Structure 1
Amino acid sequence: MSRQFVTEAVMMAIYGQLLVPRSPVEYIVPYTSVLELYELQDSEEPLMNFPEDDAHVKGKIKELINYFEEPLNKKKINRCLAMPWAKSATILLGGQAQMVIINSMDSAQYGETFDPIETELLLTSQREKMPILTDQFELIQRIIEGEVPVQVYDIDDFDFAMEEGTRSSLTDH
Structure 2
Amino acid sequence: MRRRFVIEAVMVATYGHLLVPSRPVDFVLPYSTIMELYEMQAGPEPIMDDLEENEHVKQKITELIGFFEDSFNRKKIERALQMPWRESSPLLLNDMVQFTVVHAIDNAHYGEYFDPIETELLLTALKLHVPLLSDQFEFQDRLIEAEVPVQVYDIEDFEFAVEEGIPATDLEISRDL
Question: Matches of residues 3-152 of structure 1 in structure 2 within 5 Å?
Answer: 3-152=3-152
Unaligned runs of 5+ in 1: none
**C-alpha contact 1:85 1:105 (8 A) present in aligned 2:** yes
Between the aligned partners of 2:167 and 2:137, the Cα distance in structure 1 is 25
Between the aligned partners of 2:150 and 2:128, the Cα distance in structure 1 is 10
4+ aligned runs moved over 3 Å, structure 1: none
Specify the SS of the correspondent of 1:138: helix
Between the aligned partners of 2:2 and 2:37, the Cα distance in structure 1 is 26
Unaligned runs of 5+ in 2: 171-177
- 1:81 partner letter: L
Give the direction of change, closer, same or farther, for the CA distance of 1:82–1:110 in structure 2 (3 Å limit). same
**C-alpha contact 2:22 2:163 (8 A) present in aligned 1:** no
TM-score using structure 2 length: 0.92
RMSD of aligned residue pairs (Cα, Å): 1.4
Report how far residue 118 of structure 1 moved. Answer: 0.3
Report how far residue 168 of structure 1 moved. Answer: 3.7
